Structure 1
Amino acid sequence: MEVEAGDLLLSINGMPVTDVLDYRYLIADETLVVEIEKPDGEIWELDIEKDFEADLGIEFPEEMLETKTCKNNCIFCFIDQLPTGMRESLYVKDDDERLSFLTGNYITMTNLTTDELNRIIRYRIMPMNLSIHTTNSELRCKMLNNRFAGDVMFYLEKFRANHIQMNGQIVLVPGYNDGKELKNTLEDLKSFYPVLQSVSVVPVGLSRHRQGLAELCVFNQEQALKTLDIINKVHLEMKERHGDGFVYPSDEFFLLADLPVPEASYYNGFPQIENGVGMMADFKESLESAAENYENDYSNDSIILAPLSDTVHHKIGIITGRLANTFMTNLMNDLKKVMPKLDVIVYPINNNFFGDAITVSGLITGKDIVEQIKPKLSENERDLLLIPENALRQGTQVLLDDWTLKELTETLGVKVAGVPVDGESLIKILNR
């Protein structure tokens, strides 16, 4: 008789297993005592020896993997701004401390029970990625539309007292948590360094599908400049005191302010690049580095791309968001100085699907690509179109509106491929 589907996993080394997070932490030991209950009620106790990082091969039913959803009604929530008719998974508002650790998602902490908080501390689950937004209790309740959302400082204090490393995020909304409120929030957060390792500040994103929602506005150039001034004063102070800038504005603020994106050294190792903070500086640095060695033979290297044909591609188009158009165009012009035969065109996509206020490449849709690129291809045909992988659903070739790269290729009559957002991958393709 063997362990089989339908058996109940009770405990590992005497600790109960309530979900996947318990399981992941409890199997870390090399010697395990696993308690199993069979369907007939018989209890088995299994002594297992394994390598430290080895899994037990246990699969969990869907109910144990169910995501905890958000209890807030944030005024800036982008999910509330999605049009109807998109795939169901896009409408899930996760606020799950397990995903904060497992996948890097940000949580508001309004979902945390006392038991879950204690488990984070007991297992030392970190870093925790926290949606802070403001340390003003009353304002946070207002922004999250939750009267229980004001105890953010309690959680920050609790995590600091137990040395649980954190990263913080502030979604900045003009007229709410910017200006003086942002100054006060950053002043409060400085005291949590280094347990609070980094804080990112990102501008609110507003789609055209905001019917019935709070009236908000996006940042203009003047507001972006003032915001950067507030952030960079704290950044420089922390850099001088600790050698770490601590607080980092998202790339959009520099573009909105019409300022150059900082050099990679500004970001001190890019602690929040998964949040899109510093992605452009990282890309620029990697592209410049790869360009210096562009004559190297890449023919035997593998590229993480959709399979391309064996045809040599001479005329390439790069698809990007409208906000990054100047940045990408300047980079390609610089690249042409060292690759004079390079024939590349940057195609900025205006986001008609979500509205003009959405300008980043990660929210580009297939419908907008087809409508805006197809007429241009008839004027200046391309052999290959590249789209940044951050516009694709992770691990797939599917865009936000369910267009696939295959469908784009068939509709446009040109091969369309996703490319990692790093200079080396791009250079490899351009140098084929």
Structure 2
Amino acid sequence: MSGSTADVEGLLRELAPQVLGVLVRRQGRAAFDACEDAVQEALLAASTQWPRDGLPLSPLGWLVTVADRRRVDQVRSESARRRREEALALATPQSALLAPPADAPDRGADDSLALLFLCCHPALSVPSRIALTLRAVGGLTTAQIAAAFLVPEATMAQRITRAKQTLRTAVGAGGGLAGPPEGEGDAARLAEVRHVLYLVFNEGYTASGGEELTAPQLSVEAIRLTRMLLRLTPGDAETAGLLALMLITDARRPARTGAHGELVPLEEQDRGRWDQELLYQGLELIAAVLPRGQAGPYQVQAAIAALHGEAATARETDWPQVLVLYDLLLRLDPNPMVALNRAVAVAMVHGAAAGLALVEELAEDKRLARHHRLLAVRAHLLERAGTDPAGAARAYREAAARTASAPERRHLAARARRVEGAA
């Protein structure tokens, strides 16, 4: 059975967490580092051989076999690791020695959720959680992750290595791959996993720096992993809300840039260029999940995105309802960026002056005072008010100077010139 390179890459990403799960379940969480390296080698071998030779009868079994052999080679090549393996074998219960052979993994077991929890361990920093999740669960190479985050490959490799070392220390010499924690810990860790996927998506949708506005690979991977998470936790409304938010938002991607790569704001986008299939999926999902019960922050954000997505034009957006939802979101997730977005909604409902008053209050918040986004909103509302074009141009230019994104910088500078030209 043959397969194109693209098909093989997609299959490998689907199988990567399952293969790693099998190895970690057998070798123990303390061996996560070595198991993950072995899986990466197996994925690399498959990406080279499968497009050329065709898919094996059991792709999962093939990967597990190759990764298991790589793991054995690692142990044999390092005497220190061999001694630890021997000590571990002496301490292993006889029942553990009855595990199925490497070429016959337990098809009923899917350790993907446990792996997500492990990669988002509280002992890791947020950047480390993101990097480890994309590599271990997403199946991305270190080079791919580094390119997406615009850092040298060596820097990303060091980050991943440190993350695995921290994880090894945090989990200790524990046994096989444990499932998610129970009770309140379960909910908290699931929230951490969602947050990591949310951050990955946001970085892909609007890159924090560099020459490109977006890093599509990250958004696509975040959506794929969130789909997987929802399959593993089908009753979790917030995960469904997060996926709906991603789908509705990513549907706009084709219209977010112009012919020359320039940024096109939401109100100026050609909505006919939106991805209608993604939009439909997101709208259907949030419509199904909202009636289930108490909404969480991701569900509310998805509902706001849906109101924008359902409007045929920017003028037809139901801004009063958007404002109601932002009021709710601010109670659920009181942070300055939500408050800033709410200020825009206030301006659209009650006038630019009302929105500007809120922006000036937010300027007192040290977390937001020098953020380019606050300056951009101030400039936009001053432009809408039409009372201080010079102030609007200054705010646009200051915002342009503070953003690390080249497309945003060019867009903000162009708005400044437009305001000055109209004055």
Q: TM-score, normalised by structure 2?
A: 0.33
Higher helix share: 2
Higher strand share: 1
Choose between structure 1 and 2 for higher RCO, CA contacts under 8 A separated by at least 6 residues.
2
Q: TM-score, normalised by structure 1?
A: 0.32
